[in-house]
Each structure stands twice: as C-alpha cells, then as structure tokens.
Structure 1
Amino acid sequence: MEAKKISASRVYKSSHVLPPDTNNHGTLFGGKLMAYIDDVAALSARKHARKSVVTASTDSIDFLKPIKVDSEVYLESFVTWTKNTSMEVFVKIIAEDLYTGEQLLCATSFLTFVAIGDDGKPTTVPKVIPETELEKFLFEQAPFRAENRKRRRKESYNLITKIKENYN
C-alpha cells in the first residue's frame, strides 16, 4: 500500500454561527462544535483510507477562545499519523469576526479513526508523508499521543470494571 501525502486528506468546513447555535453567553455550544469536529475529521480519515471509517476516540478538544454569535467558524482537518488500521486526525478551529476580519485560533482537537473493510472488520490504511513544518511536527509527536491514548484506554477499561463491580 503506497503512502500518501498528508495534504491529500485535508478537509475544510465553515459555518455561520447563528443565535440558535449559541448558549446564554452568546457563544457557540461546545457540543455543536464537537459535532463539526467529528464530521470534518471523519471526512479526512475517509479521504485518506478511501474506506468507511468509525471514530475510535476523541483524544482531546482544547477550547482556547469562545466563538461568538455572528462569526464564521472555520475548521481544517488532516490525517497526521497512521498505525495499521487506525489514523490520527488533527483539527484546528478558527473563528473570524465577519465585521472586522479578525481571526482567532479558538480550539484544537485530535481524534482517532479506524478504517473498516467491506467485511465490517478493521482494514489497513496507507502511511502518511508529512511535508510542511506543522505536518512534520505533528507526525513526530504522534507516537507520544498514541502512547497516551493507549494508557487512557487501559484506565477506561479499569474504570468500567469498577463500575460493573458496584452494580452487580
């Protein structure tokens, strides 16, 4: 399977933030932004794998700045790293004030997706080729994030075991 440039998985999405999309502070609901993030990241994973994909984890969403009503929220995603059947996807979220043109980096996120074959089972994905400085940085740091995911997943299974023990 031939490796692919990271840029081949890049996806952009933008949306106008309207009053129904906001909370009582006049800023975008976190859950609404999370749905946008999952959507755009899934598209990047699917473009890279050219297979169906499922979200395996949302590793992090760091909300840095609020996104105000009547702004444009702009998301950019791309696959940063792959293992055998899984792909790490990075999403950056920028808000633009539509009156002034000021842009702010408002959030970042990492998600993991697994490619699914026609048999309904995980299937292999191509490796990635980073080109830009940001892509190289994210690619080089990916094994550390993968190790953190593995540790967090083990902790989650331990928690589930404890919860089950209390309800049996």
Structure 2
Amino acid sequence: MVYPVFPGTTNHYGTLFGGTAMAWMDQAAFVAATRYARRKVVTVHSDAIDFRRPVPLGAIVELLARVVEVGRTSVRVEVEMWVEPVREGAEPYLAARGGFVLVAVDEEGRPVPLRGNQP
C-alpha cells in the first residue's frame, strides 16, 4: 500500500502523526490477512510498534505486510513502513515496524478455522 503524506496527516512539526501511521499499518495487515484467509478477518492484537525515524510532510510511504505465522483461526502479520523522501539524492528508509494478529470470523463474529497452516 502506498500513501502520500499530506498536511492533514501531519503534526505541528511537519511529520506524520503516530496514530495515522498505526492506522495505515493496521490496514496493510488487514489486506495481507484477508488475502491469506480469503474471508472476513478482524484485528485482535497489535505488538509494540517501533517508530525508528520521523516521516516528513510530502514523503511517499510504502507499507509492506507479510503473513509470518498462522494459527488455527489467526494470522500474525509483520508490517514495515518505508519512506521515500521526495527530494533529489534522498534514499528510502525504514520508519516503523510492527506486528498484528488478525482472526478469521464468521458472519456472527465468531472465530472460524483457517484453511491450511502455512504462511
């Protein structure tokens, strides 16, 4: 997933709000888990999110999410937030990393088994 960092998503320092970063990371985890499960999933847990570097206004953010562990009804997804600064000569860098656990559920919201167990 790719997002531009616009003024409405930044604080008074001109950097991305942490809450916005977390929401974007959760969305990326949701997409990865949904692609794996091929059914409705919900977030039940987020690990510590390590914010390594600030994300400046005007940058392009790319979120990379991958399923790293599969349980009976749940998947653990690791998400990395990479920043592509939009200025000549600037190199992309890892801004944040975190883990999320999502559970497959039925229409009543009850956990249901996943097919297979390999990420």
> Where on the TM-score scale, by shorter chain, does this alignment land: which range?
over 0.9
Q: Percent identity?
A: 34
CA distance in 2, matches of 1:120, 1:23: 36
Deviates more, 1:26-35 or 1:97-106: 97-106
Confirm or deny that 1:38 pairs with 2:26: yes
Tell me which stretches of 4 or more aligned residues in structure 1 moved more than 2 Å. 117-120
Higher RCO by CA contacts (8 Å cutoff, separation 6 or greater): 2
Cα deviation, residue 19, structure 1? 1.5
Which structure is higher in helix share? 1
Confirm or deny that 1:85 pairs with 2:77: no
Cα deviation, residue 119, structure 1? 5.0
Cα deviation, residue 44, structure 1? 0.7
Q: Which runs of 5+ in 1 are unaligned?
A: 1-12, 130-168
2:117 to 105, 119, 127: 127
CA distance in 2, matches of 1:17, 1:120: 34
Which residue does 2:12 correspond to in 1?
24
RMSD (Å), alpha carbons: 1.2
1:71 to 51, 59, 72: 59
Q: SS of 1:60's equivalent?
A: coil
- Equivalent pair of 1:70/1:98 in contact (CA under 8 Å): yes
Cα deviation, residue 112, structure 1? 0.3
Between structure 1 and structure 2, the one with the greater Rg is 1
CA displacement, residues 104-133 of structure 1 (integer Å, 9 cap, x when unaligned): 10000100000012453211123124xxxx
So what's the TM-score if we normalise by structure 1?
0.66
